[in-house]
Amino acid sequence: MIKWTVLLLVPFLLTAEPKFIGNSDLNRFDREALTFSLSFRGVAAARARMRCETLPEHLWRIQVDTDTKFWADLVFPVSNRYITLIDQPSGRVVQIDKKIKQKNLKQEMAVFYDYSAGRAHASHGFDWEIGDELQTLFSLLYQLRGMDPAPSDSLGCLLEIESQLWVVTGKVEIGEPVEGSFSDQPVRRIVLDFVPQSPLKPRDWKTDLLTNRFGRQGQLILKMGPAPENLPLWMQIGGGTNPVSMKLLSRKKG
């Protein structure tokens, strides 16, 4: 009888509920600075710097700066800044700010998330519907690091990218080491697939190079180092033929 009971339970054990990506404690990343090599079409073309800070207003602030290298500056200059503010008690993204300065686009834009009204309001006058819980691109990365996912975990959340909502699902598995400064670190490989929650509507505004990596279907592949740092050793953002990849070069604290 016990044998048959175990056999009946196996399908339910194999289809465990996905773990929600969110509500992580990001204090462990306070004053952490990460530097990445950013590649496009297989060529290292830029540097990216990420920094997380704890603010007095019970907020976490994530700042990401991307700047092209000298030779790439001659072809397609990029100097972009992305700021994400996360409310500590709720773990919700409350504001994002972008300052875009690239060859084909100059733009400053802020988005404010009003969860009580279920709307996002952009500084350029547009607004759109949002869900009760969502992540944006860089909050997603830090929330993943904060939750310390284990191999075989299933993951899920709702991702908001400038008025477009994506259902995120993914798996965690053991991965291969990343060549370079962190080649001695064991790796968890996380593959997240982004499927539109509903048919996508074209935006009424232009957007930047990184945001444009998400087309009809997006993807994030992350190779994460061991706890407690859970460093993002390597990432690939966007699916299709021209994704952007980022490789960690250094980490500093303070």
pLDDT digits (tens, 9 = 90+) for 192-244: 999 999 888 889 889 888 887 765 568 999 999 999 999 999 999 887 777 88
For the ranges 6-10, 58-62, 111-115, 150-154, the lowest mean pLDDT is seen at 6-10
> Which CATH topology does 20-253 take?
YmcC-like fold (2.40.360)
DSSP one-letter code for 76: S
The mean pLDDT of 83-107, rounded to a whole number, is 96
Residues 6+ apart with CB under 8 A from 61: 52, 53, 54, 55, 83, 84, 85, 86
Please spell the DSSP secondary structure of 202-250, one letter per residue.
Answer: PPSS---TTGGG--SSEEEEEEE--TTT--EEEEEE--SSS-EEEEEEE
Q: Is a pLDDT exceeding 90 seen at residue 131?
A: no
**For 156-165, what is each residue's pLDDT tens digit?**
999 999 999 9
Residues 6+ apart with CB under 8 A from 96: 82, 83, 84, 85, 110, 111, 136
Q: Is a pLDDT exceeding 50 seen at residue 5?
A: no
pTM: 0.89
In 3D space, the residue among 112, 134, 135 whose CA is nearest the CA of residue 123 turns out to be: 112
Residue 227 CA to residue 141 CA, distance in Å, equals: 15
Residue 159 CA to residue 136 CA, distance in Å, equals: 6
Residue 216 is predicted with a pLDDT of: 56
Helices (H), the chain: 2-14, 70-75, 137-147
Residue 251 is predicted with a pLDDT of: 98
For the ranges 15-19, 80-84, 110-114, 241-245, the lowest mean pLDDT is seen at 15-19
Residue 121 is predicted with a pLDDT of: 97
What 3-state DSSP class applies to 14?
A: helix
Residue 215 is predicted with a pLDDT of: 59
Buried b (16+ CB within 10 A) or exposed e, 149-163: beeebebebbbbbbb
In this predicted model, which residue has the larger pLDDT, 41 or 192?
A: 192
Locus of tokens 């259902």 = 167
For the ranges 11-15, 123-127, 188-192, 212-216, the lowest mean pLDDT is seen at 11-15
